[in-house]
Amino acid sequence: MSVPRNADSWQQVSSRQDFAAYLRLLAIDCEHACNGQDLNEPVAHRWTNRTISDFLWGWVRILGERIDGTDLLQEEAPGRPGWQGLAFQLEKARTSPPGFNCALADSGTQSHEVDTAIDLRWYAATLATDFARHERERQEANRRGEWVGDGGNWAQSTLHDWLDAWAAWTDANSPHHTRLEPVTWRSVALQLAAAQIYE
């Protein structure tokens, strides 16, 4: 059975700690979904994207839904992005069809270059492409019988582990965490960069 969740649980997020708790909820829910335990869930609660790459491409899609490249979510989600707005985006990214885009795939955008929602879109696409590349290399090394443990750009290989690592890093306290308040598009990119390597 999947973790009970309210259709609007993202609305309960108002702080960094709430957001970390929300990420943990998503991680548990995703793990159940990946194990085929979400079949009894209403369609609105099911996971369309069950890999890190697909989840990021789903996010890319919703960050650029409009033809002019503006973010529809900026108008729907409170705080723009804010903790609650960020939770809302992840809720949408969970079920949004992946939006692979060749033009964005190898943009090479770095976290420190993110200032706007459009920049975050480019950065999420960079991460999605990097993760897919990392997984191909890991699988090829595994086929050759090579050890595929430590190393590489990604500390996690599953979406639920990545969400859990993101939650753990966001909930921790260090000098880096002072840059998370107020939530900006760049601080979201910083969280993503940290979650990529956090163990």
How far out from the chain centre does Cα 104 lie?
17
Predicted local distance difference test score (pLDDT) of residue 38: 57
Give the model's confidence band at 164: pLDDT under 50 very low, under 70 low, under 90 confident, else very high: very high
Predicted local distance difference test score (pLDDT) of residue 4: 43
Q: What is the DSSP letter of 3?
A: P
Q: Residue 105, exposed/middle/buried by CB under 10 A (0-12, 13-18, 19+)?
A: middle
Predicted local distance difference test score (pLDDT) of residue 139: 79
Residue range 184-194: mean pLDDT, rounded: 92
Q: What is the SS3 assignment for 132? A: helix
Whole-angstrom Cα distance, residue 45 to residue 10?
Answer: 12
Give the model's confidence band at 82: pLDDT under 50 very low, under 70 low, under 90 confident, else very high: confident
Predicted local distance difference test score (pLDDT) of residue 152: 65
User: Which range has the worst mean pLDDT, 23-37, 39-53, 140-154, 183-197?
Assistant: 39-53
CB-based contacts of 94, cutoff 8 Å, min separation 6: 26, 30, 47, 48, 49, 55, 58
pLDDT over 50 at 88, yes or no:
yes
Whole-angstrom Cα distance, residue 168 to residue 122?
Answer: 25
pLDDT over 80 at 113, yes or no:
yes
